[in-house]
Homo-oligomer: A and B are copies of this chain.
Amino acid sequence: MVGEQTPRYHRIADDLRGQIERGELKPGEQLPTEWVLTEQYSVSRNTVRLALRRLTEEQLIVAGQGRGSFVRKRLPRAVWDWSQLESRSKHTSDAKGDQWASIVAESGRQPRQEVTVSIRRPPAEVAQQLQLDPETALTVVRERVRLVDNEPYALADSYFPEELVRGTPLMLPEDVSAPGGVLASVGLIQSHYQDEITVRMPTRAETERLSLPTATPVAVHQRTGYDSDGRPLRVMITILPGDRHVIRYDVPAE
């Protein structure tokens, strides 16, 4: 009853995927319930669930306990231009808030940030980037949840060496975005960034904080800012859900 060429749940997934791609199942529309699919395909419920899991992993559907499974709405992705973000000249016309908030506001949606500030020993990776001793050094950590229309959109955690920002407004749990970045407001000028982007599945904590659908990968964007002497001033780690973001860079060829 089992061994054909391809597993049954593959073929069920292929069939449903085709219906979605051909538009017979439209974005936002509810799929048949698992029980109905069980009857339609004459298989057990577990087999149906394997097929649905496959589609979930492909970002085609989302399931909610007690609600049903739905064809996923493809939101337009937000574009973050990291070669422009935090550029001083781009902020002359917009002294309040950062580029992210501006972009969101322009598209008619409500940006908001929740900020918490603490002083902590940094994670090993951050300590290395900041050239600090991971055993003894302290960092001021600004953890931000960026929300659009009250939906969590990204996590952005910044780490500053504690000695650099002691006694500055950076240590207040408020939105201190400013022209040239928050560091410029306390007299520290970043002249150069190094960005590193990695891709992975989210941790469970990130899944919760970002309300991520199952099997949504995230980009981890780590930006280290240096002053003109090459001294690291800050590490910012941004968690960008893959379904909501495009990362852009403009690069001169020489």
Interface residues of chain A, those whose CB is within 8 Å of chain B, are 46, 57-59, 77, 79, 82-83, 86-89, 189-201, 215, 217-219, 225, 240, 242-243, 245-254
Report whether A253 and B197 are in contact in the complex, using a CB–CB cutoff of 8 Å: no
Q: Which one of B194, B197, B253 lies within 8 Å of A225 (CB-CB)?
A: B253
Residue of B nearest to A79 (CB): B196
**Alpha-carbon distance A79/B195, docked complex (angstroms):** 11
On chain B, the residues within 8 Å of A89 by CB distance are 254
On chain B, the residues within 8 Å of A88 by CB distance are 253-254
**Alpha-carbon distance A248/B194, docked complex (angstroms):** 7
Report whether B218 and A199 are in contact in the complex, using a CB–CB cutoff of 8 Å: yes
Residue pairs across A and B with Cβ atoms less than 8 A apart, 15 shown, are: A46-B46, A58-B201, A82-B251, A87-B253, A88-B253, A192-B251, A194-B248, A198-B245, A198-B246, A199-B217, A199-B219, A199-B240, A201-B217, A215-B215, A249-B251
What distance in Å separates the Cβ of A50 from its nearest Cβ neighbour in chain B? 11
Report whether A246 and B201 are in contact in the complex, using a CB–CB cutoff of 8 Å: no
On chain B, the residues within 8 Å of A249 by CB distance are 82-83, 193-195, 197, 249, 251
Residue of B nearest to A219 (CB): B199
Residue of B nearest to A56 (CB): B201
Q: Which one of B77, B219, B254 lies within 8 Å of A191 (CB-CB)?
A: B254
Report whether A197 and B250 are in contact in the complex, using a CB–CB cutoff of 8 Å: no
Report whether A247 and B197 are in contact in the complex, using a CB–CB cutoff of 8 Å: yes
**Alpha-carbon distance A243/B199, docked complex (angstroms):** 7
What distance in Å separates the Cβ of A109 from its nearest Cβ neighbour in chain B? 20
Q: Quick one: given A83-B251, A89-B254, are A242 and B193 in contact (CB under 8 Å)?
A: no
**Alpha-carbon distance A58/B205, docked complex (angstroms):** 13
**Alpha-carbon distance A86/B189, docked complex (angstroms):** 30
On chain B, the residues within 8 Å of A246 by CB distance are 196-198
**Alpha-carbon distance A189/B253, docked complex (angstroms):** 9
